[in-house]
Amino acid sequence: MDGALDRHVVLVGFMGAGKTMVGGHVARQLGRPFVDVDEAIAAGHGPIAELFAEQGEAAFREVEARFLREALARPEPTVIAVGGGAVETPGLLHDDRATVVHLPVDVEAAWQRAQSSDRPLAQDEAEFRRRFELRAPLYVAVADATARDADDVVLAAAGVHVERGALQRLGGLVPGDGKTALVSDPQVAAIHGMDAQLALGSRLTETHELLPGEEAKSLAAVDRLWQELRLDRTGTIVAFGGGCTTDAAGFVAATYLRGIAWTPVPTSLVAQVDAAIGGKTAIDLPQGKNLVGAFHWPARTIVDPALLETLPEPQRLEGMAEVVKAGLLAGEPFWVLPDDELVRRSIAYKAAVCLRDPYEQGERAVLNLGHTFAHALEAAAGYEG
């Protein structure tokens, strides 16, 4: 199974950050169990304030660590909220079985929220602020991602990084430390190719171009790429382009050397909100689109909304159709949001559906809304216009 699909999601942050509320919402979005470690401790040992008073903080941290390790040992992916102090236990949150997401909070807001609770470390404001300052860098050090809301947590769970300007940090965002092959098409390469190559730096060992549009998804095109690649199994294919590029390069990654890592960097609106999300890869046959493919979840999907600034208006309209589809399915008008937000919200909706049904055994089929007759129309028009 692909990593993002079987990893737990662990929410960390100072008291008052909203881990329980956000965690419950994310668990419902992903169809996963939710474990609040503090609540589990209280159910098994009584009120946390009493545990602190009777046995001290060190004893509580031992209990906390045991409960978290038990939650991480579950075979079923789970959303887990841990207490604000868990980060002080060395090594506890460094676990390959989990994606750790930090929910930041302002110290003033945290203090105000804490006043309505009986938390043992929220009784003295000076000590509260000292703990806040102590833990702030620890959260950053253990977190795989930072989230402002439940949608950001879903994106982190799916391995999707959305950031304006992310292209400039590409070398640091592509997971792993092996060699990378940059796969693009002539149009994208002409506009953004040099920026991508410079950002990948010394990790970049080869570049390849696919034909533009649906021609990239032919057996001849992917066969040529199979023949040209020189990566080993530690390598990564960076698929840099629109939906046809990510479909084809992802399929090559799924099959080359029986499967290597890949990171899509989508450059069109269709690719950012749909084609590059969820691990579907495919090529076409004369009989129709996407008839040969594989489910191959990316190591990370890197979405830079700034790349849409060079997108021609007809292609932007194509992408807005996917935004409208996502909004209709979610019951929210994503299409009226500012560009960066409509991208983020549309991706989060699709990512949640794909995490619930990664291999399209049921619910994920709703994402094909409009695709059946639309693909027929595309074929009838020869993929023109």
Residue 17 and residue 84 in contact, taking contact as beta carbons nearer than 8 Å: yes
For 296, the token pair is 């191959």
Distance CA 218, CA 363 (A): 29
For 149, the token pair is 């809301």
384 or 163: which leads in pLDDT: 163
**Cα angle for residues 254, 241, 373 (degrees, 5° grid):** 80
For 303, the token pair is 């979405």
At residue 184, the pLDDT reads 99
At residue 374, the pLDDT reads 58
Residue 165 and residue 304 in contact, taking contact as beta carbons nearer than 8 Å: yes
Residue found under tokens 């040969």: 292
pLDDT band at 122, cuts 50/70/90? confident
**Which long-range contacts (C-beta less than 8 Å, at least 24 apart) are formed by 194-198?**
195/167, 195/168, 196/167, 196/170, 196/238, 196/240, 196/265
At residue 123, the pLDDT reads 84
Q: What is the DSSP letter of 274?
A: I
Please determine, for residue 39, whether its predicted confidence score (pLDDT) is greater than 80: yes
Residue-wise pLDDT for 236-284, tens only, equals 999 999 999 999 999 999 999 999 999 999 999 999 999 999 999 999 9
**Percentage with pLDDT > 70 across the chain:** 95
Residue found under tokens 């023109």: 384
Please determine, for residue 45, whether its predicted confidence score (pLDDT) is greater than 80: yes
What angle do the packed helices 57-72 and 37-45 form, to 10 degrees?
110
At residue 150, the pLDDT reads 98
Distance CA 317, CA 337 (A): 15
Kindly give the residue spans of alpha helices, DSSP state H, lying in 229-337: 243-255, 269-270, 313-330
Rounded mean pLDDT of 51-63?
Answer: 93
Residue 301 and residue 264 in contact, taking contact as beta carbons nearer than 8 Å: yes
What is the distance in angstroms between the CA of the first residue and the CA of the last residue of the chain?
Answer: 39
Distance CA 62, CA 233 (A): 40
Residue-wise pLDDT for 145-156, tens only, equals 999 999 999 999
Enumerate the β-bridge partners of residue 263.
238
Rounded mean pLDDT of 291-295?
Answer: 98
Please determine, for residue 380, whether its predicted confidence score (pLDDT) is greater than 60: no
The second-level CATH assignment, the architecture, of 3-158 is: 3-Layer(aba) Sandwich (3.40)
Residue-wise pLDDT for 98-114, tens only, equals 999 999 999 999 999 98
Distance CA 17, CA 362 (A): 35
CATH topology of domain 161-380: Rossmann fold (3.40.50)
Residue 15 and residue 122 in contact, taking contact as beta carbons nearer than 8 Å: yes
Residue 293 and residue 243 in contact, taking contact as beta carbons nearer than 8 Å: no
Model pTM score: 0.93
Average pLDDT, the chain: 95
Domain ranges of the chain: 3-158, 161-380
Please determine, for residue 90, whether its predicted confidence score (pLDDT) is greater than 60: yes
At residue 211, the pLDDT reads 95
Please determine, for residue 1, whether its predicted confidence score (pLDDT) is greater than 50: no
**Percentage with pLDDT > 90 across the chain:** 91
Q: Rounded to whole angstroms, what are the CA distances from 139 to 83, 86, 100, 169?
A: 12, 10, 9, 22
Whether 3-158 and 161-380 share one fold: the answer is yes
At residue 4, the pLDDT reads 87
Q: What is the DSSP letter of 211?
A: P
